[in-house]
Amino acid sequence: MSSVTPRGAATPAAATRMRSEDRRELVLAAATAVFGERGYFGATTDQVAKAAGVSQPYVVRMFGSKEELFLAVVGRALERLLATFRSAIAEAGPAGSSGVTAVTDRMAQSYAELLADRGLLLSLMHGFLLGTEPVIGERMRDGFGQIYALLRDEAGLSPEEARVFLADGMLLNTLVSLQLAREVDTDAAFAELLACALPTKLDLIRGLGTAR
Q: How far from chain centre, in Å, is Cα 171?
A: 14
Name which of 71, 79, 30 is nearest 54 in CA terms: 30
User: Whose Cβ is closer to DNA: residue 45's or residue 84's?
Assistant: 45
Closest to 204 in 3D by CA, of 117, 86, 88, 125: 117
Which of 16, 25, 29, 46 binds DNA (CB under 7 A)? It is: 46
- If the CB atoms of residues 10 and 211 are measured against DNA, the closer one turns out to be 10
- ∠ CA 195-108-179 to the nearest 5 degrees? 45
Q: Based on CB atoms, which residue is closest to a second copy, 8 or 75?
A: 75
Spatial separation of the C-alpha atoms in residues 143 and 149, rounded to whole Å: 10
Shortest distance (Å) from residue 174 CB to a second copy: 5
Q: Report, in Å, the least distance between residue 17 CB and a second copy.
A: 33
Residue 180 lies near a second copy (rule: CB under 8 A): yes
Residue 57 binds what, of a second copy, DNA, none (CB under 5 to 8 Å, by partner type)?
DNA
Helix residue ranges per DSSP H, the chain: 20-42, 45-52, 56-63, 66-92, 95-98, 100-114, 120-128, 134-149, 159-178, 188-197, 202-210
Integer Cα distance of 150 and 138 in angstroms: 19
CA distance 128 to 123: 9
67 contacts DNA (rule: CB under 7 A) = yes
Pick from 10, 14, 211, 212 the residue near a second copy by CB under 8 A. Answer: 212
Q: What single-letter amino acid sits at 208?
A: L
Sequence letter at residue 76:
R
Q: How far is the CB of 174 from DNA (least distance, A)?
A: 24
Binders of a second copy among residues 107 to 166 (CB under 8 A) are 122, 125-126, 128-132, 137, 140-141, 144-145, 148-149, 152, 159-160, 162-164, 166
Residue numbers 16-35 binding DNA by CB under 7 A: 18, 20, 23
**Footprint of a second copy on this chain (CB under 8 A)?**
37-42, 122, 125-126, 128-132, 137, 140-141, 144-145, 148-149, 152, 159-160, 162-164, 166-168, 170-171, 173-174, 177-180, 182-183, 187, 189-190, 192-193, 195-197, 212
